[in-house]
Amino acid sequence: MITRKTQKHSIRLSDHFTYKKLIRFTIPSIATMIFTSIYGVVDGFFVSNYVGGTPFAALNLIYPFIMILSAVGFMFGTGGSALVAVTLGMGKKEQAGELFSLFIYLVAGIGAVLCVLGIVFAEPVSRILGATDDMVYYCVLYARISFIGLVPFMLQNSFQSFLVTAERPRLGFYITIAAGFTNMLLDWLFMGVFKMGLGSAAAATVIGQAVGGFIPLMYFILPNSSLLRIGRTKVYMGSIFKAAANGSSEFMSNISMSVVSMLYNLQLMRFAGERGVSAYGIIMYATFVFFGVFFGYSFGVSPIIGYAYGAENTEELRNVYKKSLKLISFAAIFITLSAELMARPLSYIFASHDDVLLDMTEMAIRIYAISFLMFGFNIFGSSFFTALNNGLISAVLSFLRVFLFQVVAVLILPVIFGLYGIWFSVVAAEVLALAVTIIFLSIGYNNLNRNKYSPASPIHEEQL
C-alpha cells in the first residue's frame, strides 16, 4: 500500500518536471558520480603518498587500457537504458524487462571474455604505451589484478544507468557509497596500515567493484517494486544493435578518452618525463570530481527524455531541454570558479612531497579548468541524442569532442607552446566541440517545435 506521503515525494518518469523536481530526480545521479570521483581521488592519494612516484605513474599509464576494455559496460548501460526507457514510455513493460535482462546477460558474458584478454595482453600493452623498465612491473601487476574485477565493474557501470530508468536513482547512490567506502577503507588498511604496495590498491578497487556490481544484480534478480527485474529473455538482435548504436557515443567516449590519455602520456613523457604523467594523472583524479556534476546530470536526465520521447510528449521534451540548458549554464560558471580557487589545495593532496610536481600540477589544473565552461553543454548534447535513440548524432558529437579535436590539439599545440600546449589541448577541443554541439542542439530544438520526434522511427515491433 502506497501512503500519501510516499505519493507526494515519489518522482515518476511520467511526471511534469519543474526545476525543483528535475534537480531532485537528478541529484542522486550527480552525487553518485561525485562520490565515485572522490573514492578515485582516495585511490590516487594513497598510491602517490604511500607507494611511490613510479608506481603512481605506472598506474596512470596503464589505467586507460583498463578503461578501454570496460567501455562495453558504459555502452549497454547508457544505450540499453535509453531503449528500455523509450519502451516503458510506449507502455510495453514486459518487453522492457526482457530487454533489460538481455543487456545485463550480454554485459556479463562480454566482460568475462575481455577479462581474459586483458590479463594476457597487459605486459605488451604496457611497453607499447611507453612504460620504462621500472614501470612495466607495476603496470602489469595493477592491470592483471584489476581485470579480475572487470565483470562486476562493467555491471556496476551498466546498473547505474538502469537504476535511474527503474526510478531508483537513490538506490544507485547508496550502492555507490557502499562500494566507495569499501574501496577507501581497504586502501587505508592495505596501503596506509599494512604497507602492501600497488597490488593492494588494485585489490581494494576490485573488492569495491564487486560490491557495486553484485548488490544491484541481486536486487534486480529478487522480487522488487521497481519498473525492472532480471528474468527470462529472448535474443532480440535488432535491439542489441540498436542499444549498441544508442550507446556508441558513450562507448566511443570511453575508448577515445582512453586512447587520447595514452597519447597525452606519450607526449608528457617526451616533454616532462614521469612527473608529467603523474601531473596528468592528478588532473584526472581531481577534475573528475567537477566533471561528475555534468556526467551525473546527463545520466539522470536521460531516462526522463527517453520516457517522454516514447510517450510522444513533445511538450515535456521541450520543457526538460530548456530547463537543462539553464541549469548547466549556472553549474558551468560555478564549477569553473571553484576549480580555479581549489587548484592549489587539490594539487597539494597528491604532490605535497614534490615541489616541482606541485607547481606543474597547479598550473595544469588552472588551464584545464577553463574547459568546464563548455564541457557540460557538450556532454548534455551527446546524452540528449542518445536518449532520443539517435545514436549517430550522439556518436558524431562524442567522436569529434573526445577524439578528433583532442588528437589534433595534443599533436599540434605542444609543437608551438611546449608543455603549456598539452594542457591547453583539452580547452581547444571543448571550444571546437561546443560549436558543433550548438548546431546540432539548435536543429534538435527546432525539430521539437515542429513535433518531428516520434518513437515510431527508431523502434519497430520486429526490433523488439
What pLDDT tens digit does each residue of the chain (464 aa) get? 334 344 445 778 888 999 999 999 899 888 888 887 777 677 777 887 888 878 888 888 888 888 888 877 777 877 888 889 888 888 888 999 999 999 999 999 999 999 999 999 999 999 988 888 888 999 999 999 999 999 999 999 889 889 988 989 889 889 988 998 999 999 999 998 988 989 999 999 999 999 999 999 999 999 988 889 999 898 888 888 888 877 776 676 777 777 787 788 888 888 887 788 888 888 877 777 788 899 889 988 988 998 888 888 888 988 999 999 999 999 999 999 999 999 998 888 877 777 888 888 899 899 999 999 999 999 999 889 888 878 788 888 888 888 899 889 989 998 898 888 888 998 999 999 999 999 998 887 777 666 555 444 434 344 44
The pLDDT value recorded for residue 12 is 84
The pLDDT value recorded for residue 399 is 84
The pLDDT value recorded for residue 464 is 42
* pTM, entire model: 0.73
Residues 6+ away with beta carbon under 8 Å from 76: 103, 106, 107, 158, 243, 244, 247
The pLDDT value recorded for residue 331 is 95
The pLDDT value recorded for residue 328 is 96
The pLDDT value recorded for residue 456 is 41
The pLDDT value recorded for residue 33 is 83
The pLDDT value recorded for residue 386 is 83
